[in-house]
Amino acid sequence: MRDPLAFSIPALSKAVQPWADRLAFPVLPLHAHEVVGSALFYTFVHVVVSPALSSRFFPKYYPRHSRAKKANWDAHVVSLIQSVIINSLALWVIFFDAERKSMDWQQRVWGYTGSSAMIQALACGYFVWDLGITLLNLDIFGIGLLAHAVSALAVYSFGFRPFLNFYSPVFILYELSTPFLNIHWFFDKLNMTGSKAQLYNGIALLATFFSCRLVWGSYQSVLVYADMWRAVRRSPDALYVAAAAAANAASNSMFLPFADPDANMMAFVTAAAEQPVPVWLALVYVASNIILNTLNWHWFFKMITAVRKRFDPPKGGDAGKAAVKEEKKPSAVTTATGVIDEKKHVVPGNNLTHRRQHSIIEDVVPDSEELRDGTIQ
């Protein structure tokens, strides 16, 4: 399937061509406008859209006077918008790109389709924004998020070789849980902690986290490991190399010395014809994937532990029961205006605050900043 956002900006293609040659990223000139456009769009959302809409609709809660809190709020708005866009596009590519569905293992490693490269380019643009905003606010976001932004940008950039172009929409579906994560965060900021809306959103968060990051992610990781194992042991078939070389020889493109990649999924294979995939490149992907999957399972088991604490019977025997009974004795009565203590004195206060119980989902779901440290945003 062709890139639906494909169009030519000769000046931009010419500008990035030296970098593409130096980094061995022949696909980059085709998608540079998507990387730049995506980064600029998310910067615009962060700087203009989020402050304007948040101040308009949530004036009581938007922390416009706190630099750290404002940066965090605006970053969550960008993350929410990005995850909705990229998930929708990735699902569309997976379901409707017939060429992608027909790929064999060699095409999954060295092949190219415009639609999958679009997903990769838009993701790179987001990570460029993420890297920039983290560097500008390093005291707020910290070294952990900086390392996350650098590693994510590096891994997705290698797809411009092209390399594992097939898997770009596959692993971006980790982001399916991100909208619910951001919504959960906003519920807390809007004083809706413990509400039914947060409960239902929390259930959706746990369900998508488990199904997308653990089940789907682990299954696809096994498949990509198998493809990379074969790719480091052998080069592309001679027929693929010969067909690509013949087509590329007839190309007259000024900026891209390759045949139309939409007509030949292996148009870029000649760059890898002399040897298999470099071992270092495969190790970078495997190491990154293992770290990510390990963190996802770690968070999932923390969720399970938190759930079990809610249902396990209290420990401590008779002493524990006595303590529970003692806790049940009322020492104060809550009224609409405050709390009446044992001496009948009214203590001003918000009874809703005193009566509010901790949300189960609040305890089960990791804090959004903690989860972001361990996942691709």
Alpha-carbon span 89 to 83, nearest angstrom: 10
The pLDDT > 70 percentage for the chain reads 75
Alpha-carbon span 30 to 159, nearest angstrom: 13
- The mean pLDDT value of the chain amounts to 80
pLDDT over 70 at 322, yes or no:
no
Residues in CB range of 232: below 8 A, 6 or more apart: 276, 277, 278, 279, 282
Mapping DSSP to helix (H, G, I), strand (E, B) and coil, where does residue 3 land?
Answer: coil
Is the whole-model pTM more than 0.85?
A: no
Cβ atoms of 271 and 141 closer than 8 Å:
no
Q: How many C-beta neighbours within 10 Å does residue 82 have?
A: 25
pLDDT over 50 at 140, yes or no:
yes
- What residue spans of 104-251 are helical by DSSP H? 105-110, 114-136, 138-157, 168-171, 178-189, 196-208, 217-231, 238-249
Q: How confident is the model at residue 366 (pLDDT cuts 50, 70, 90)?
A: very low
pLDDT over 70 at 339, yes or no:
no
pLDDT in tens, 60-117: 999 988 889 999 999 999 999 999 999 999 999 999 999 999 999 999 999 999 999 9
Alpha-carbon span 120 to 89, nearest angstrom: 11
Tell me the backbone φ, ψ of residue 232, rounded to 5 degrees: -80, -10
Q: How confident is the model at residue 145 (pLDDT cuts 50, 70, 90)?
A: confident
Alpha-carbon span 4 to 113, nearest angstrom: 11
pLDDT in tens, 241-290: 887 777 766 665 544 455 567 677 888 886 555 578 889 999 988 888 88
pLDDT at 258: 58
CA distances for 287 relative to 121, 283, 290, angstroms: 22, 6, 5
Residues in CB range of 214: below 8 A, 6 or more apart: 296, 297, 300
The pLDDT > 90 percentage for the chain reads 43
Tell me the backbone φ, ψ of residue 349, rounded to 5 degrees: 170, 165
Task: At 2, list the tokens.
Answer: 């062709």
Q: How confident is the model at residue 301 (pLDDT cuts 50, 70, 90)?
A: confident
DSSP calls for 74-118: HHHHHHHHHHHHHHHHHHHHHHH-HHHHT--HHHHHH---HHHHH
Residues in CB range of 229: below 8 A, 6 or more apart: none
Range in 25-34, 171-180, 236-245, 303-312 with the lowest mean pLDDT:
303-312
Residue written as token pair 């809610």 = 310
Cβ atoms of 332 and 342 closer than 8 Å:
yes
pLDDT at 245: 74
pLDDT at 76: 95
DSSP calls for 150-166: HHHHHHHHGGGTT-SGG
Q: How confident is the model at residue 308 (pLDDT cuts 50, 70, 90)?
A: low
Alpha-carbon span 48 to 42, nearest angstrom: 10
Q: How confident is the model at residue 340 (pLDDT cuts 50, 70, 90)?
A: very low
pLDDT over 60 at 30, yes or no:
yes
